């Protein structure tokens, strides 16, 4: 889940980008025609607009710089003392699966960030999602190859989850029904943070990206979109339900998984969609499971007034 480092840094580094929307099949339509027909707004890039090369250069330079920084960090903090000949290795028990889910989540987040950045440079939504997914896959594959030359090994399951996660936003664009199903994360530091030992490798001190005991992965369902139309008025469109998964005691000989059910929020229905900034902010917050009432359903029942 080390690619989360890049996701977090890029999110803080890149300027906000406007939310694009689907466009009519006739790519020859002018921006003026689209506005007259109510198909566009001034914040959305039109297919007839030229790519803003200055903004594209800023995006490319920022991403390249961040990737270089991540490479230096990982080379010194993860790979330097753990080099070996290239090999494959799958570890399905590592982090009790939180690591694997984290790969999907991080890859999806990277696609979102790259896509939004490209939309700022006047890429259409579909085109930006395509290139955003491709960039996310390339970067995470590079990391996986480097792992192949270390103690970790090239994990083909990690590669598959990277591919699936990076592709998911693009698939959601083409299959709108899937927009009702999203992955989120919440986090509270565990005792492993800033400590060595436990799971990991030589010289490792755990930080947020590999503090699997502190992470909870959530599968969020937009209930309002899934209910029959006759029931719509009785369920708030901003209120979702999430199924959470986490791990406990992972640094001991008896780790165990936990499952939770919680309320969740669709921030695009709570934050006014009156500007590009607010639209992007609400979509970004939808990657985070915000504090909400929850019930742990396994291995035993525990009620949380607020869980994050």
* pLDDT tens per residue across span 32-87: 333 333 333 434 566 667 899 999 999 999 988 988 888 887 787 777 778 899 99
Q: Residue-wise pLDDT tens for the chain (308 aa)?
A: 554 444 444 444 443 433 333 333 333 333 333 333 333 343 456 666 789 999 999 999 998 898 888 888 778 777 777 889 999 999 888 889 999 999 999 999 999 999 999 999 999 999 999 999 999 999 999 999 999 998 889 999 999 999 999 999 999 999 999 999 999 999 988 887 766 555 555 555 667 777 889 999 999 999 999 999 888 889 999 999 999 999 999 888 899 999 999 999 999 999 999 999 999 999 999 999 999 999 999 999 999 999 98
Question: Alpha-carbon distance 99 to 3, whole Å?
Answer: 11
SS3 assignment for the chain: CCHHHHHHHHHHHCCCCCCCCCCCCCCCCCHHHHHHCCCCCCCCCCCCCCCCHHHHHHHHHHHHHHHHHHHHHHHHHHHCCCECCCCECCCCCHHHHHHHHHHHHHHHHHHHHHHHHHHHCCCCHHHHHHHHHHHHHHHHHHHHHHHHCECCCECHHHHHHHHHHHHHHHHHHHCHHHHHEEEEEEECCCCCECCCCCCCCCCCCECHHHCCCCEEEEEEECHHHHCCHHHHHHCCCCEEEEEEEEEECCCCCCCEEEEEEEEEECHHHCCCCCCHHHHHHHHHHCCECCCEEEEEEECCCEEEEEEC
Q: Are residues 219 and 106 in the same domain?
A: no
The residue to which tokens 């997914």 are assigned: 133
Write down which residue in 174, 189, 224 finishes a domain. Answer: 174
Q: Are residues 159 and 194 in the same domain?
A: no
Report the Cα 160 to chain-centroid distance in Å.
15
Q: Are residues 199 and 97 in the same domain?
A: no
Number of domains the chain contains: 2
CA distances from residue 240 to 42, 231, 235, 247, 289 in whole angstroms, order as listed: 31, 15, 9, 23, 11
pLDDT of residue 129: 97
Q: Are residues 212 and 107 in the same domain?
A: no
Both tokens assigned to 45: 């890039």
Question: Alpha-carbon distance 162 to 166, whole Å?
Answer: 6
Q: Are residues 94 and 209 in the same domain?
A: no
Q: Are residues 167 and 186 in the same domain?
A: no
Write down which residue in 139, 174, 209 finishes a domain. Answer: 174
Q: Are residues 164 and 15 in the same domain?
A: yes
pLDDT of residue 204: 57
Q: Are residues 129 and 238 in the same domain?
A: no
pLDDT of residue 34: 36
Q: Are residues 16 and 154 in the same domain?
A: yes
Q: Are residues 199 and 143 in the same domain?
A: no
Write down which residue in 129, 159, 174 finishes a domain. Answer: 174
Give pTM, 2 decimals: 0.83
The residue to which tokens 């992470």 are assigned: 215
pLDDT of residue 72: 85
**With contact defined as beta carbons under 8 Å apart, do 133 and 166 qualify?**
yes
Question: Alpha-carbon distance 130 to 169, whole Å?
Answer: 9
Q: Are residues 100 and 82 in the same domain?
A: yes
The long-range contacts involving 80-87, CB below 8 angstroms and separated by at least 24 positions, are: 80/203, 81/201, 81/202, 81/203, 82/150, 82/151, 82/152, 82/201, 82/202, 83/149, 83/150, 84/149, 84/150, 84/151, 85/149, 86/148, 86/149, 86/154, 87/148, 87/153, 87/154
pLDDT of residue 74: 79
Both tokens assigned to 21: 């929307």
User: Could you list the residue range(s) of the whole structural domain that residue 159 is in?
Assistant: 1-174
Q: Are residues 24 and 156 in the same domain?
A: yes
**With contact defined as beta carbons under 8 Å apart, do 18 and 120 qualify?**
yes
């Amino acid at each position: 889940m080390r690619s989360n480092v890049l996701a977090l840094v890029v999110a803080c580094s890149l300027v906000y980008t406007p939310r694009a929307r689907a466009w009519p099949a006739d790519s020859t339509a002018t921006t003026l025609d689209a506005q007259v027909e109510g198909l566009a707004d001034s914040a959305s890039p039109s297919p007839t607009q030229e790519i803003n090369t200055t903004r594209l250069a800023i995006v490319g330079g920022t991403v390249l710089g961040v990737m270089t920084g991540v490479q230096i960090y990982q080379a010194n903090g993860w790979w330097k003392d753990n080099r070996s000949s290239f090999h494959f290795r799958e570890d399905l028990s590592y982090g009790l699966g939180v690591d694997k889910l984290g790969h999907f989540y991080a890859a999806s987040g990277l696609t979102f960030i790259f896509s939004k950045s490209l939309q700022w440079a006047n890429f259409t939504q579909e085109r930006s999602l395509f290139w955003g997914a491709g960039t996310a896959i390339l970067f995470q594959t590079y990391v996986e190859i480097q792992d192949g030359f270390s103690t970790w090994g090239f994990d083909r399951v990690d590669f598959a989850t990277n591919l699936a996660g990076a592709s998911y936003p693009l698939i959601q664009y083409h299959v709108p029904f899937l927009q009702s199903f999203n992955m989120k994360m919440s986090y509270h530091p565990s005792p492993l943070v800033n400590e060595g030992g436990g799971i990991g490798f030589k010289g490792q001190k755990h930080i947020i990206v590999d503090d699997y005991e502190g992470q909870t992965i959530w599968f969020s369902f937009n209930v309002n979109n899934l209910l029959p139309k006759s029931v719509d008025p009785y369920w708030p469109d901003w209120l979702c339900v999430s199924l959470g998964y986490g791990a406990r005691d992972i640094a001991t000989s008896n780790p165990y998984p936990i499952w939770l059910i919680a309320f969740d929020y669709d921030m695009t229905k709570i934050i006014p969609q009156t500007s590009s900034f607010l639209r992007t902010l609400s979509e970004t917050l939808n990657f985070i499971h915000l504090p909400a009432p929850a019930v742990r359903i396994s291995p035993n029942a525990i009620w949380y007034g607020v869980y994050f």
